[in-house]
Amino acid sequence: MFEGKPEPQCLEVELGPRSYPVYIRAGCLKHLGKLIIQAGLGPKGLLVTNTTVADYYATLTQSSLEQAGLQVRSVAIPDGEAYKNLEWASRLYDAALEAQLDRRSPVIALGGGVIGDLAGFVAATYLRGVPLVQVPTTLLAQVDSSVGGKVAVNHIQGKNLIGSFYQPSLVVIDPHILKTLPARELIAGLAEVIKYGVIWDAEFFAFLEEKVEKALVLSMEVIEPIIARCCAIKAEIVKLDEREEGIRTLLNFGHTVGHAVETLTHYQVYRHGEAVALGMLAAGWIALELGRWSLSEFQRLRELLQRTGLPLHVPGADPRKLQELMVHDKKNLQGALRWVLPRSLGQAEINRQVPEELVRRALEKLVS
């Protein structure tokens, strides 16, 4: 049974020659430079962050890197999903060239999922690949996007349509950073946390039901085990299926509808985790209609999302437009949507045969 006991503060994502450590330790940001040197990276680097994170942590991070002997060029982009695009990737290539980075020079992503994706995409493509160091500063990035090696930028027709599988060399997670995270961002991150419980670990889901209020006030005795458990689940799944050819697709629970919601609202209305929560509700309702899981389990999911403060509806959205956008989702296979549907709490399946009429009704419920 998952009891929230602290797991090891360093776990390994086991991928043979692409394996890498994930450090989870309060206060470890000040040791970032030493950890990078210990990983055999340097002596030059490119630090990518956003203007919001820079105000809090750029000085501390830069000092840690310089004390370790690293020469680092720093670039802070505007804060927001709208800037995760090829234009800003090009600006980062310019900065890397100006800093004369070589193939041992790390790109260091200090920020949330947008920074991790954008900086990771640049690392994967600059000089055909340079080391990537993920330093996630949001809960969503700490429990999900910083681990597993999916990097991308957005296209006007959809989210993450231009990207690659590219594993980091190092992930450094400092839970204390979350103290400066806006409440809405923390809540959005908890959507991805809840996802792990639904698709993989029923006991973890029950733990979240019991401790969600403590997680919302960032009790370290709760939040650190949560981060560690999510990273451990992600590492286990990625080890089994690095390139999302099978079981890793389960991690997309809630994302089929979630990405459409983000695209429809031009990434301006909903945080990624909020959109995923909406997508989990839609997928959960479809699973209920197909007889995949019980009404009581669906209600437990809905209640936990509600207690967490996540949205349960998309008021004013056009369900037909949402359905059209889902057709362009990168998770499609041979023209068929790959739905991740819960079978019970802690178990999920991939379904490519969900009737369009059922999808439409689920979306109509979501926007009502």
CA dist 189 and 139 (Å) reads: 5
**Residue among 84, 272, 292, 300 flagged as catalytic:** 272
94: which residues sit within 8 A by CB, 6+ positions away? none
CA dist 101 and 43 (Å) reads: 9
**Residue among 159, 229, 255, 300 flagged as catalytic:** 255
- Whether 224 is a known active-site residue: answer no
- Whether 155 is a known active-site residue: answer no
- Whether 272 is a known active-site residue: answer yes
**Residue among 5, 87, 128, 245 flagged as catalytic:** 128
- Whether 328 is a known active-site residue: answer no
Which pair of tokens denotes residue 95?
């900065």
**Residue among 81, 244, 262, 274 flagged as catalytic:** 244
**Residue among 192, 224, 242, 297 flagged as catalytic:** 192
C-alpha dist (Å) from residue 231 to 11, 23, 170: 8, 10, 13
**Residue among 50, 252, 271, 300 flagged as catalytic:** 252
CA-closest candidate to residue 293, choices 244, 340, 248, 246? 340
- Whether 244 is a known active-site residue: answer yes
Task: Dump strand ranges (E) for the chain.
Answer: 10-13, 20-24, 44-50, 71-77, 107-111, 132-136, 150-155, 158-165, 170-173, 339-344, 347-351
- Whether 320 is a known active-site residue: answer no
**Residue among 84, 195, 229, 259 flagged as catalytic:** 259
**Residue among 234, 271, 292, 300 flagged as catalytic:** 234
**Residue among 50, 84, 150, 242 flagged as catalytic:** 150
Per the CB < 8 A criterion, the answer to whether 75 and 92 are in contact is yes
**Residue among 248, 271, 292, 300 flagged as catalytic:** 248
Residues annotated as catalytic are 128, 150, 192, 234, 244, 248, 252, 255, 259, 272
